[in-house]
Amino acid sequence: AQTIHQWPVAEIKAVGSPLSLGCTIKGKSSPNLYWYWQATGGTLQQLFYSITVGQVESVVQLNLSASRPKDDQFILSTEKLLLSHSGFYLCAWSLRGDSDYTFGSGTRLLVI
């Protein structure tokens, strides 16, 4: 069975500090991977997608970056956090471009 694990579960970080969020998918080879973000009370927005190792495409510019160092790993990061980065971050995978998405449990980030 496929599993998707996100870490950490929650973070409180200072403005200007770095951030790294991780996502690991097990039991599925070469999945499409995605990062989503939801501001408090807001709509989920797709930030990045990746269809293969080493290739990541940006969908929305939020002064964040993403990388896919391994087939089963997707990393979201920034060197300097902004207050506007607060929210809920979700990682997802799908088998193909047109198949259902499965989401991880998410990371809640508060920037102060």
Partner 1 sequence: GQQVQQSPASLVLQEGENAELQCNFSSTATRLQWFYQRPGGSLVSLLSNPSGTKHTGRLTSTTVTKERRGSLHISSSQITDSGTYLCAMGAASSSFSKLVFGQGTSLSVVP
Write out the residues near partner 1 by the rule CB under 8 A: 32, 34, 38, 42-46, 49, 51, 57, 59, 88, 90, 92, 94, 96-106, 108
Tell the smallest beta-carbon distance from residue 54 to partner 1 (Å): 15
Tell the smallest beta-carbon distance from residue 60 to partner 1 (Å): 10
How many CB atoms sit inside 10 A of residue 89's CB?
22
Using DSSP's 3-state secondary structure scheme, residue 15 falls into coil
Shorter beta-carbon distance to partner 1: residue 49 or 74: 49
DSSP state of 58: E
